[in-house]
Homo-oligomer: A and B are copies of this chain.
Amino acid sequence: MSQSCFADCLFILFGATGDLSKRKLIPALYKLIEDKKLCHFAIIGTALEPIDQQVILERSKPFIQNFKQDIWDKLVQSFYYYPMDFYHGTMYNNLKPLVAEVERKHNLTGNRILYFATMPQHFPTITKFLLESNLVNNQHTTSPWTRLVYEKPFGQDTQTSQALNNFLNQAFTEEQIFRIDHYLGKELVGNIALARFTNRIFEPLWNKDHIESVHISINETLGVELRGGYYDEYGQLKDMIQSHMLQLLALTAMESPGELTAHNIRNAKAAVLNSVVIDDVVLGQYEGYKQEQFVNPNSTTDTFCALRLFINNARWQGVPFYLVTGKKLDRKETTIELRFKKVKCLLTYCPSEPNALIFKIHPDDGIYLRLNSKIPSSTVEVAPITMDFCHSCLFGPNTPEAYETLLADVIRGDQAAFIRADEVEASWRIVDTIANKNYTLHPYAQASQGPVMLKSLYLPSKEEV
């Protein structure tokens, strides 16, 4: 990133008293100020709660690294809080004079970012009132621009996501809409396509001729914690597969997009999502889930979801992709592993493990390559070795947080890391296909690897695509 300031803008943050704002968004804004990217700006936070604006900011302090008073002061001087009920249209009209005053006071030119960090069911209502009150400049993509940022989940199924897209696309151009998935802001995720396309050795191997299987895993150790109310209506399939995991799949499996523009990348990702064929599914629920706070005692919500799927195109014909994610598992780890085909044995040189290229996204950012090497002094044995490239080791611990990267992208108008309408809908179609089949829900022990049935997923597939 260059050291020059971004364009001026006003953030209007819906859900300013929520957890996301506290832990991620306000610290990310602080960091952009510190990095001298955010120079001319102001923030109006809104939420239902009547609360002093200083209190809101104070809550974020523990989440700021390398606190500096002068940076903090800049944030405080540019932050305004306006309590409002999102369902009262008049409140939006009252918000207008504040917006005008803040923009005048901070010499802003009218660029606005509307950030929806609220419960997803409020998205349509807030958007509708914003339009009616003329707080947003619809169809304005150039100066002054208006951009809308929606947190996930975007819709609850194919129908609701389509309805929301249709509603938004009538009022706004797709260039104004930023559907966020914070996984796409993570350094290593941004690096998957770059690693593949800037390294001459990877792309020739990135297909069915060389790859045996692809494994995408997001393993969590936590349960639903305080999110039981929201979570119980979604479950792992709709909360994790629909968003993060299908995006990781799309990024990993996409065709070469040519130049890495937002348009090209999103075309390539949508093509993958539209070619997914679900082959087998294992759903699970951890023991004790029904006793969690805010969870229905008779809940049939999945807290574990594993898929075997195929991508019905020439590149991936016959290569199984395994997507596995769950809560209360034995380890916290997010990885993408491309497992290469085995080689035939050369006399006694029989590699025990196939080669693999592994992107570790959590807890350690890094790229790993599993190879085989001769064991010294042995003439007969080959052992697996791992070459690694630790991101934080090489580039230092100052890797930006996902939200810092994503907010910077919004201000700069770069949509490459945001999800387009057709991608969201394709993802929901995949998820609905699974949800509608009523797969058996298998119980599993906490701190385990998931349901024992998971093993069946790795047996030869039922139907070859």
A contacts, CB < 8 Å to B = 1, 187, 190-191, 194-195, 197-201, 203-205, 209-210, 258-261, 340-343, 346-347, 349, 351, 354-355, 357, 367, 369, 371-380, 382, 385-389, 391, 394-395, 398-400, 405, 408-409, 414
Contact = CB atoms under 8 A, between A and B. Distances in A.
Contacts of A376: 187, 391, 395, 398-400
A200 B191 contact: no
Q: Which of A197, A209, A380 has the most CB of B within 10 A?
A: A197
A378 B1 contact: yes
A414 B348 CA distance: 14
Contact of A394 (B195, B197, B385, B395): B385
A349 B260 contact: yes
A203 B349 CA distance: 16
Given A194-B372, A195-B371, A377 B389 contact: no
Contact of A382 (B194, B210, B357, B398): B194
Contact of A355 (B199, B209, B259, B395): B199
Given A191-B374, A260-B347, A379-B408, 13 more contacts: A187-B376, A197-B343, A197-B346, A198-B351, A199-B343, A199-B355, A200-B343, A201-B371, A259-B346, A367-B373, A373-B389, A377-B399, A387-B389
Given A369-B369, A376-B391, A341 B200 contact: yes
Nearest to A192: B374
A386 B204 CA distance: 20
A-B pairs with lowest CB-CB distance, top 6: A387-B387, A200-B340, A376-B399, A198-B372, A377-B400, A194-B374
A209 B349 CA distance: 27
Contacts of A354: 200
A388 B387 contact: yes
A198 B197 CA distance: 25
Contacts of A205: 201, 204-205
B1 A201 contact: no
A377 B355 contact: no
Contact of A259 (B199, B200, B347, B386): B347
A212 to B, nearest CB: 9
Contacts of A349: 194, 197-198, 260
Nearest to A351: B198
A210 B199 contact: no
A399 B198 CA distance: 36
Q: Which of A201, A349, A408 has the most CB of B within 10 A?
A: A201
Contacts of A388: 387
A198 B134 CA distance: 65
A187 B347 contact: no
B398 A199 contact: no
Contacts of A380: 1
Contacts of A387: 367, 369, 387-389
B194 A200 contact: no
A261 to B, nearest CB: 7
Given A261-B347, A387-B387, A373 B210 contact: no
11 contacts: A195-B373, A197-B346, A198-B382, A200-B210, A201-B201, A201-B205, A259-B346, A373-B391, A376-B391, A379-B414, A387-B388
